[in-house]
Amino acid sequence: MSKKNIILGIESSCDDTSAAVISDGYILSNIVAGQKVHEKYGGVVPELASRAHQQNIIPVVDTALKEAGIQKEDLSAIAFTQGPGLLGSLLVGSSFSKSFALGMNIPLIAVNHMQGHIMAHFIKQKGEENKQPIFPFLCLTVSGGHTQIVLVKSAEDMTVIGETLDDAAGEAFDKSAKILGLPYPGGPLIDKYGEKGDKLKFIFGRHKVGELNFSYSGIKTSILRVIEKGVAENPNFITENQNDLCASIQHTIVDILIKKIMKASKEFGVNEVAIAGGVSANSYLRERLLELESNYNKQVFIPKFEYCTDNAAMIAISGYYKFLKGDFSDQSVTPKSRFAL
Ligand code: KG4
Ligand code: ZN
């Protein structure tokens, strides 16, 4: 039997420390340690994030190897997130990975975090059907830091064909939640409360931008105006309307995403549509995408929840594809806070 290609993936670009093991494309383990420390600050505090990564990285890697049932000597390579992300956070994952590769004498593979989100669609699960998109496909990549439409021609060849000119969709969720007095990160809470609300109760202004680009900064102001007016008339306005406000905010953010992905599909003649990034965990976005499948004949690919938000499995699978090509880095590689696809 030929030797298996077993890749350890490391992700530390923001506030999740994660390690995962992938063997010939099949997931063996994916451990994610979140950081509660940021909640009370209403956003990620970079210095606290890198300190928490330092505390978490060894136990997280240890658990990932144990859960995968392998020894570190079984690993073929180590892949890590090179960027984009918070520099201090990236430094912890990259320094660990470089030392590990050196100590174990195995190849080191640098991965672009956004490419990782897209490649999450290729993670295979033992005993499952593992439906995967076929190149070329479109990927709507929506996270706390990015909102992009990417034309994915192969595992290495990806072109951004549209992106946000200001805030990311996740940022729009989190900032709106903050206005409603919800804790960080507010995206999942807007999703939860929005499920019970009326999405057409409040209408928020949309900033129209051309081509396949997005603009989300205007939505905050529009929400703020509605809230100020409501609270002036009724001091309990927010609590009494929480579900409807969340549903309407969610509808506004998601509707823009759907319209642009439809436009991209038409312009590029590509009917396979995937989503990636933290916001793809949003249940209303998932529902709207599935409507594209039933009503517009698109093939839609939605990753499992655990591969939507930041995780190392997506880094390990990207590493696996690079491993097959022999695309390795040497010890001079450094993290990049900004890193285009
Ligand atoms: O990809 P990710 O985990 O980290 C970044 O690379 O940014 O994305 C995090 C973003 C946050 O803005 C968070 O509020 C948003 O994803 N998010 C959601 C949901 N789950 C996570 N937004 C809306 N609904 C959700 N269910
Ligand atoms: Zn991410």
Q: What is the pLDDT of residues 20-37, one digit of tens each?
A: 999 999 999 999 998 777
Residue 121 lies in a domain: yes
Q: Looking at the CA of residue 171, tell me the nearest atom of ligand 1.
A: 12
Q: Sorting pLDDT into bands at 50, 70 and 90, what band is 109?
A: very high
pTM value > 0.75: yes
Residue 24 identity: D
- What pLDDT does residue 22 have? 98
Q: How many of the other CB atoms lie within 10 Å of CB of 84?
A: 21
Give the rounded percent of residues in the chain with a pLDDT score beyond 90: 87
d(CA 173, CA 142): 11
User: How many domains in the chain?
Assistant: 2
Q: Are residues 283 and 315 in the same domain?
A: no
* Closest ligand relative to 112 C-alpha: 2
Q: Are residues 174 and 222 in the same domain?
A: yes
Q: Looking at the CA of residue 13, tell me the nearest atom of ligand 1.
A: 6
| Ligand 1 mean position, distance from CA 182 (Å) | 15
Exposure string of 305-329, with b = 16+ CB inside 10 Å and e = fewer, is eebbbbbbbbbbbbbbbbbeeeebb
- The residue nearest atom 8 of ligand 1, judged by CA position, is 278
Sheet with 6-11, side-by-side order of all strands: 26-33, 17-23, 6-11, 77-83, 108-112
> Which residues does ligand 1 sit against, CB inside 6 Å?
14, 143-145, 170, 173-174, 185, 187-188, 191, 277-279, 281-282, 309-310
Max CA distance (Å), the chain: 74
Q: Are residues 119 and 162 in the same domain?
A: no
Q: How many of the other CB atoms lie within 10 Å of CB of 239?
A: 11
**Residues recorded for the chain:** 341
Residue 337 identity: S
φ, ψ dihedrals at 237, nearest 5°: -50, -45
Q: Tell me the C-alpha to C-alpha distance, in Å, between residue 42 and each of 86, 170, 181, 183, 184.
A: 17, 14, 10, 6, 5
| Ligand 1 mean position, distance from CA 143 (Å) | 5
d(CA 34, CA 313): 15
Q: Looking at the CA of residue 186, tell me the nearest atom of ligand 1.
A: 14
| Ligand 2 mean position, distance from CA 314 (Å) | 10
Q: Could you report the per-residue pLDDT of 290-332, keeping only the tens digit for each?
A: 999 999 999 999 999 899 999 999 999 999 999 999 999 999 9
Handedness of CA 228, 233, 239, 241 (dihedral sign): negative
Picking from 236, 251, 122, 255, the residue whose alpha carbon sits closest to that of residue 191 is 251
Question: What contacts 336, CB < 8 A, 6 or more positions away?
Answer: 82, 83, 84, 90
| Ligand 1 mean position, distance from CA 335 (Å) | 22
| Ligand 2 mean position, distance from CA 1 (Å) | 37
Q: Are residues 156 and 196 in the same domain?
A: yes
Residue 340 lies in a domain: no
* Closest ligand relative to 86 C-alpha: 1
Q: Are residues 145 and 98 in the same domain?
A: no
Residue 61 lies in a domain: yes
H or E stretch at 53: helix 46-68
Residue 333 lies in a domain: no
Q: Are residues 296 and 153 in the same domain?
A: yes
Helices (DSSP H) in 69-168: which residue ranges? 87-104, 113-119
H or E stretch at 173: helix 169-179
Q: Are residues 230 and 275 in the same domain?
A: yes
Angle at 46 between CA 83 and CA 192, to 5 degrees: 85
Q: Are residues 210 and 276 in the same domain?
A: yes
Q: Sorting pLDDT into bands at 50, 70 and 90, what band is 3?
A: confident
| Ligand 2 mean position, distance from CA 226 (Å) | 31
Q: Are residues 183 and 272 in the same domain?
A: yes
Q: Are residues 177 and 274 in the same domain?
A: yes
- The residue nearest atom 19 of ligand 1, judged by CA position, is 188
Strand pairing class (147-152; 158-163): antiparallel
Residue 335 lies in a domain: no
Q: Which of 147, 173, 257 most suits a substitution to test ligand 1, by most atoms within 8 Å of the C-beta?
A: 173
Q: Looking at the CA of residue 117, tell me the nearest atom of ligand 1.
A: 1
Residue 54 and residue 60 in contact, taking contact as beta carbons nearer than 8 Å: no
Q: Tell me the C-alpha to C-alpha distance, in Å, between residue 251 and each of 204, 207, 215, 246.
A: 10, 15, 15, 8
Q: How many of the other CB atoms lie within 10 Å of CB of 70?
A: 18
* Closest ligand relative to 281 C-alpha: 1
* Closest ligand relative to 169 C-alpha: 1
Q: Are residues 192 and 46 in the same domain?
A: no
Does the pLDDT at position 155 exceed 80?
yes
Q: Could you report the per-residue pLDDT of 218-260, keeping only the tens digit for each?
A: 998 999 999 999 999 999 999 999 999 999 999 999 999 999 9
Residue 317 lies in a domain: yes
Q: Could you report the per-residue pLDDT of 196-224, keeping only the tens digit for each?
A: 999 999 999 888 898 999 999 999 899 99
Residue 334 lies in a domain: no
Q: Looking at the CA of residue 281, tell me the nearest atom of ligand 1.
A: 26
Q: Are residues 156 and 46 in the same domain?
A: no
Residue 337 lies in a domain: no
Containing structural domain, residue 207: 137-305
DSSP 205-254: -----STT-B--HHHHHHHHHHHHHHHHH-TTHHHHTHHHHHHHHHHHHH
Q: Looking at the CA of residue 192, tell me the nearest atom of ligand 1.
A: 26
φ, ψ dihedrals at 47, nearest 5°: -65, -40
| Ligand 1 mean position, distance from CA 4 (Å) | 34
| Ligand 2 mean position, distance from CA 241 (Å) | 31
Q: First-to-last CA distance in the chain? A: 37
> For the domain that residue 301 is a member of, what is the CATH number?
3.30.420.40
- The residue nearest atom 24 of ligand 1, judged by CA position, is 282
Residue 74 and residue 85 in contact, taking contact as beta carbons nearer than 8 Å: no
